[in-house]
Amino acid sequence: MKTPPNSKDELEEVDSDEVFPMFRDGGRFGQLRLAVGMTFATKMEFKEAVREYCIQEGRRIWFKKNDNVRMRAVCKDENCGWLVYAANNTENNYWQIKTFMDDHSCARKTKNRLANRKWLAGKLVKKLRKYPNLRHCEAAQYFKTKCDLELSKCSLTRALGNARAVVHGDAAAQYGMIYICLDACKKGFLAGYRPLIGLDGAFLKTQHSGQILSAIGQDANNHIYVIAYAIVPVENTENWRWFLELLHQDLGDYKQNKLYFISDMQKIVNCCDLIDRLLLHELLIYAELLIKEVRAKPIVTLLEEVRMYAMRSIARNKVKLSSNTGILPPIQRSRLEKIRKESKSWVPMWSGDSEYEKFEVHG
């Protein structure tokens, strides 16, 4: 370690024939090292490097001298001799550490104001890209385990919000980017899916709240099929009327196409007693689960993830049925086979009509 300069020669340059390391951002937390002579592209880069280093070492410091020519950071404990001093090399336009006394006499701290909202959000952005559904408690545990930091609930909540805004985009701006692209879903439903539609609404957890309305159907093999969905400010009669009128325009007259509907309140509309109640219940559960994991994200991100989820689901089901042979799809064939086996013990008894067409079955 170089001998620290006195107050008279703080701004003197180190020998020009020596080669000094250049600070490179993006290193792993816990492995950052500072050294005399290390250079930085800007003053802010130097300041953030000192912040990162002191957080990883569990030290609380403050910048005592801060201008366009020099910066000095010292420990908040007056009895501690820790010090880092850097100056601006105006000729080559970079900052360089002139003095670094890395000898702390104070104890390590688990609460550190250097870990502000901006710093926390920067760390959380990387975590959210890998784990999009990262929860508050998981984030707190991450900083406790990885950085040995105890954070207030308020600061961590705000940092999570900032990080999600970076990862998922600005929530308010995304409302101006919405477009409609569901023709394929509606045409696919009309091409041969079961004429049963489940309707449901779910609350969104975004900054602007709102609800998502969805129409869900099933194919011949009982696979769930997403027909349409829309975002509205509130779930009320007016918005449901708007949603269903658009759905009616795309799918055609429900009476002519013999379409049946059921709402989340189990109120059957244009329905008959032959519809499987359990099947309807599964439809409504799926409609809610469709957006459960993404409803806290900004609007465009939410809609895109729902769209991609529906697309992947339809594609997988298409592959499953591509090798099917016969008139019936696999699930319906298995149900028929089960009934056929049970029917072995059934006995038909002629009811006495002259045409021998009416029988009564016992068993």
Which pLDDT score, from 0 to 100, does residue 238 have?
A: 92
pLDDT tens-place string over residues 135-165: 899 999 999 988 889 998 898 999 998 898 8
Helix (H, G, I), strand (E, B) or coil at 269: strand
Q: Is 264 within a domain?
A: yes
Same domain, 193 and 250: yes
Residue 1, pLDDT score: 40
Whether residues 29 and 82 share a domain: the answer is yes
End position of a domain, from candidates 93, 110, 127: 110
Q: What is the pLDDT of residue 141?
A: 92
Residue closest to 68 by CA, chosen among 91, 35, 48, 95: 95
pLDDT of residue 284: 57
Cβ-based neighbour number of residue 264 at 10 Å: 17
* Residue 3 confidence (pLDDT): 47
Q: Could you tell me if 316 and 196 lie in one domain?
A: yes
Domains identified in the chain, total number: 4
Domain of 13? 1-110
pLDDT averaged over every residue in the chain = 79
Among 110, 128, 149, which residue terminates a domain? Answer: 110
Domain membership of residue 173 (yes or no) is: no
Task: Indicate if 221 and 158 belong to the same structural domain.
Answer: no
Q: Please indicate, yes or no, whether residues 314 and 353 belong to a single structural domain of this protein.
A: no
Per-residue pLDDT of the chain (363 residues; tens, 9 = 90+): 444 444 444 444 444 445 567 777 667 777 888 889 899 988 888 888 999 888 988 888 888 877 788 888 888 888 888 889 899 887 778 889 998 988 878 888 888 888 899 999 988 988 887 887 888 999 999 999 888 899 988 989 999 988 988 887 766 666 666 655 556 566 667 666 778 888 888 787 766 678 888 888 887 787 878 888 888 888 888 999 999 888 888 888 888 888 888 776 555 444 446 445 555 555 556 656 566 666 667 777 777 888 888 888 888 888 888 888 888 888 889 989 998 898 888 888 998 998 888 999 888
Q: Do residues 39 and 78 both lie within one domain?
A: yes
d(CA 350, CA 47) in angstroms, rounded, equals: 95
187 and 314 in a single domain? The answer is: yes
Instruction: Give the Cα separation of 225 and 241 in Å (integer).
Output: 22
Per-residue confidence (pLDDT) for residue 120, from 0 to 100: 92
Residue 309 lies in a domain: yes
Judge if 247 and 333 occupy the same domain. no
Q: Which residue is it, tokens 């093999």?
A: 221
For residue range 169-203, what is the model confidence (pLDDT) as tens digits?
766 666 666 655 556 566 667 666 778 888 888 78
**Which residue is it, tokens 């005592």?**
64
Quick one: tokens of 67? Answer: 């201008």
Please indicate, yes or no, whether residues 254 and 293 belong to a single structural domain of this protein: yes
pLDDT the model gives residue 156:
92
Q: Give the pLDDT confidence of 91-121 residue by residue, as tens digits.
A: 778 889 998 988 878 888 888 888 899 999 9
* Domain end residue (candidates: 132, 149, 168): 168
Residues 356, 314 share a domain: no
CB 232 within 8 A of CB 253: no
299 and 187, same domain (yes or no): yes
If asked whether residues 53 and 188 sit together in one domain, one would say no
